[in-house]
Amino acid sequence: MSYGAVIAVPPSYREELKQRGEDEGFRYLERIIVSLRRAGIRDLVLLGRKEGEEFPDRFKFRGLVLLPGTGAGLLEDVREGLCYLRERCAGVFFCPLTVPFFKTETLERMMERKGSLILPSFRGRTGHPILFSSEAMKEIFSYHGGGGLRDACGALPDSLIERIAVEDEGILVHVSHGGDFEELERKSEARLIRPELRLRISREKPIFGPGMVTLLRQIEALGSVREACERTGISYSKAWTMIHNCERELPFLVVERHPGGKYGGAASLSKRGKDFLLRYEAFSREMDRISEEKFQEFFGDFFPA
């Protein structure tokens, strides 16, 4: 079962983040991505990035898709992210950027449950992230009441909501609320130390790796190389160089071109290209699992998970 995540900057925090500096936001984003990826979640959407806005290179080849958001409030922004992921994800986490200290173990426990909307709680208080199943997503899309995301979730029938208790104070800590979270931040810093494999398939030079995965996933979803570049932060010329280099070495066409039109026509993955991508992703997940196990075996006493 595949899971994805929507990461959003709450509108109330955007102005504050401008004053504090974007480095703070990128620091929190890094923590969230690490926790998600360690739980095996790779379909990641970041809401609120404008086209052409500068974005650090370290995020560009990690499966992160950039969506601008609707500008109509958090509920509509989250709907946009859910809509983007729902076709290929059985469940989607919603992670506010302002709650970056949750544990990977919390995500794993939530994915074990069968409810439609999974809410984690610590000592009786509900926090984030929350997990939408496909059924909960349908309810969110059909909600037409007033208010925001909280109201839309609260309108779900009780039979579709499951609350689970977790030993994770981080689900409650909103960095935008101030307060003393120095100890949580210190523990979060320790969790950032992890094995990080950049798995590539090579001949004389690398021909297939995380960058191609990020690009090809979006080409398949959007049907356009140009749009895929806009969503991933990869330049258009760089994208075609990657595709041409890959196809020069592999014995089949990866991207099928459909020329024509104002924006250069459409594109899609070939049947063998899609199969190759799926096998690479399965291979990559298995290598990540083995790497994590071996990291704990060799370094677990230095850096407990």
What pLDDT score does 38 carry?
85
pLDDT at 258: 84
Report which of 91, 164, 93 is spatially closest to residue 133, judged by C-alpha positions: 91
- pLDDT value of position 305: 57
Q: How far apart are CA 277 and CA 257, in angstroms?
A: 17
Amino acid at the residue 13: Y
Q: Which residues contact 36 (CB under 8 A, 6 or more apart)?
A: 5, 42, 44, 93, 95, 107
Query: Does CATH place domain 201-284 in 1.10.260.40?
Result: no
Separation of alpha carbons 63 and 34, rounded Å: 12
Domain 3-191 superfamily per CATH: Spore Coat Polysaccharide Biosynthesis Protein SpsA; Chain A (3.90.550.10)
Q: Provide the pLDDT for residue 18.
A: 67
**Cα 305 from Cα 296, distance rounded (Å):** 7
Tokens standing for residue 200: 């590539």
pLDDT at position 145 is 83
Cβ atoms 267, 225 nearer than 8 A: yes
What is the CA 60 to chain-centroid distance, rounded? 12
The 3-class SS string of 24-92 reads HHHHHHHHHHHHHHHCCCCEEEEECCCCCCCCCHHHCCCCEEEECCCCCCHHHHHHHHHHHHCCCCCEE
* Each residue's pLDDT expressed in tens, for the chain with a length of 305 residues: 589 999 998 777 767 766 666 677 788 888 999 899 888 888 898 887 655 556 666 666 566 788 877 777 889 989 989 988 888 888 999 999 999 999 999 999 999 987 799 999 999 999 999 999 989 999 999 998 888 899 999 999 888 999 999 999 999 998 877 777 777 777 777 777 778 888 899 988 889 998 899 899 889 988 999 989 888 888 899 999 999 999 999 999 999 998 765 555 799 999 999 999 999 988 988 998 899 889 889 988 887 65
Contact criterion met (CB below 8 Å) for 194 and 304: no
Whole-angstrom CA distances from 268 to 12, 62, 243, 246 are 39, 21, 12, 15
- Counting every residue written for the chain, the total comes to 305
CA distances from residue 92 to 28, 30, 275, 296 in whole angstroms, order as listed: 19, 19, 24, 28
Where do the structural domains in the chain lie, given as residue ranges? 3-191, 201-284
